[in-house]
């Protein structure tokens, strides 16, 4: 599946009262646009990003934070139009012909989470059109102005009222039809409304209360406080060692290496996955691999350590964390793992839900010293950085 993302960053942000477009303001750790770019550039399902910049500007600058550079999805820039729908239409013209799904996201929502991105992609692919939205928690009143006063004329059932967020997602052909409606003269505040006018049903996925839109000065200060609180990363370390014996497969980082001996263990004894699992659990303050998958439990007999790592990534995500990056050193006299490292990085990255560029795996020997140096064992050290999910 090819997923394109349009990031709408062409607005002037007049309500914030800044001389600089609000999406270019630093909220701590980068601009709003930079935070939004990072969220999508680091997502495993995103294939390309098109950024809509203020009218007359067509080149990305330092606000990208370097995320346009490989590895990762390509990042393109286009100039915006007079209205939001004109800007999105200009970006859609730049979207790859290979796109199956196109997401549209406001740069002024810099705290979008990976989970919300994935939910929107899945719903758009399944239904054709989907938006993130939150059900109203408050009683909703419809009002009118009469003789200079505001009066209530109706009370709406709050279970029927949803507050729209972004991202909004569409299959390519649905968004093409919606944009055609807009180009024919229909005005709307978002592409979901245009899709409705084009005759499509738009499905709602659960939004995220933390996915706030920065509109006012109060919003801006709240965003700066939030990034300040989340500035400290959590670091964990992991270590694993297994004896090498005949009759066992040698599995490292989810990749089976052809060799006459393999690691001895209750599961598949993958030292990379075990060390990474311990590092992630340690960073989250959630114990170690033995606590969650004890070798006394037959359920984990010959289990794939890559599957166990996936479970732990899901577990820490439920506690509000995501993996920032991983660094692993494999200590093994032979065989050499150089040719398998890229495959290992890809599989570990997929298991924890990040781009492979955030995973480093390297091999070292023990220079003939001790059991590892004699070829009797394999070990791995890992460091994991976790950060609070935005």
Residue intervals in the chain for CATH 3.30.1330.50: 234-388
pLDDT for res 28: 80
Residue intervals in the chain for CATH 3.90.550.10: 3-229
Q: Quote the mean pLDDT of the chain.
A: 89
Strands (E) in 225-368, as ranges, are: 234-246, 250-252, 255-257, 261-263, 321-331, 359-364
pLDDT digits (tens, 9 = 90+) for 142-191: 999 988 899 999 999 988 999 999 999 999 999 999 999 999 999 999 99
Superfamily of domain 3-229: Spore Coat Polysaccharide Biosynthesis Protein SpsA; Chain A (3.90.550.10)
- Please list the alpha-helical segments (H only) found in 128-190: 172-183
List CB contacts of 221: < 8 A, sequence separation 6 or more: none
Strands 129-135 and 203-206: parallel
The whole-number average pLDDT for the span 332-361 is 94
Secondary structure class of 293 (helix, strand, coil) = coil
- Count the Cβ atoms, other than its own, within 10 Å of residue 298: 8
pLDDT digits (tens, 9 = 90+) for 296-323: 888 888 899 999 999 999 888 877 788 9
Secondary structure class of 374 (helix, strand, coil) = coil
In this prediction, residue 62 has a pLDDT band, given cuts at 50, 70 and 90, of very low
Residues in the chain: 390
The answer to which of 68-72, 211-215, 275-279, 359-363 has the lowest mean pLDDT is 68-72
Q: Which token pair is 310?
A: 């996936």
pLDDT for res 27: 86
| HSE-CB of 253 using CA atoms within 13 angstroms | 30
Q: What CATH code would you report for 234-388?
A: 3.30.1330.50
pLDDT digits (tens, 9 = 90+) for 86-113: 999 999 999 999 999 999 999 999 999 8
């Amino acid at each position: 599946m090819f997923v394109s993302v349009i990031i709408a960053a062409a607005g002037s942000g007049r309500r914030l009262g800044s001389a600089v477009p609000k999406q270019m303001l630093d909220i701590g750790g980068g601009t709003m646009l930079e935070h939004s770019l990072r969220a999508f550039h680091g997502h495993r399902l995103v294939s390309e990003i098109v950024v809509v910049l203020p009218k007359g500007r067509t080149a990305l600058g330092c606000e990208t934070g370097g995320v346009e550079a490989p590895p990762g999805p390509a990042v393109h820039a286009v100039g915006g139009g007079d209205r939001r729908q004109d800007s999105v239409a200009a970006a859609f013209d730049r979207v790859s012909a290979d796109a199956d799904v196109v997401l549209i996201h406001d740069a002024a929502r810099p705290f979008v989470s990976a989970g919300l991105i994935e939910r929107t992609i899945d719903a758009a692919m399944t239904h054709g059109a989907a938006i993130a939205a939150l059900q109203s928690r408050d009683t909703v009143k419809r009002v009118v102005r009469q003789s200079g006063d505001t009066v209530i004329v109706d009370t709406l059932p709050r279970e029927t009222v949803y507050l729209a967020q972004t991202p909004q997602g569409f299959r390519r052909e649905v968004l093409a039809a919606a944009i055609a409606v807009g180009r024919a003269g229909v005005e709307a505040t978002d592409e979901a409304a245009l899709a409705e006018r084009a005759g499509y049903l738009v499905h709602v996925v659960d939004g995220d209360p933390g996915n706030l839109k920065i509109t006012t000065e109060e919003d801006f200060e709240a965003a700066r406080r939030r990034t300040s609180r989340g500035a400290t990363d959590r670091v964990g370390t992991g270590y694993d060692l297994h004896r090498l014996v005949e009759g066992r497969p040698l599995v490292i980082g989810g990749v089976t290496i052809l060799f006459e001996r393999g690691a001895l263990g209750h599961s598949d004894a993958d030292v990379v996955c075990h060390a990474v699992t311990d590092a992630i659990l340690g960073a989250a303050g959630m114990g170690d691999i033995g606590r969650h998958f004890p070798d006394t439990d037959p359920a984990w007999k010959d289990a794939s350590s890559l599957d166990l790592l996936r479970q732990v990534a899901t577990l820490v995500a439920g506690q509000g964390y995501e993996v920032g990056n991983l660094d692993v050193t494999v200590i093994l006299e032979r065989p050499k793992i150089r040719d398998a490292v890229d495959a290992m990085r890809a599989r570990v990255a997929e298991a924890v839900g990040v781009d492979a560029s955030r995973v480093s795996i390297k091999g070292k020997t023990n220079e003939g010293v001790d059991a590892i140096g004699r070829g009797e064992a394999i070990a791995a050290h890992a460091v994991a950085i976790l950060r609070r999910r935005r």
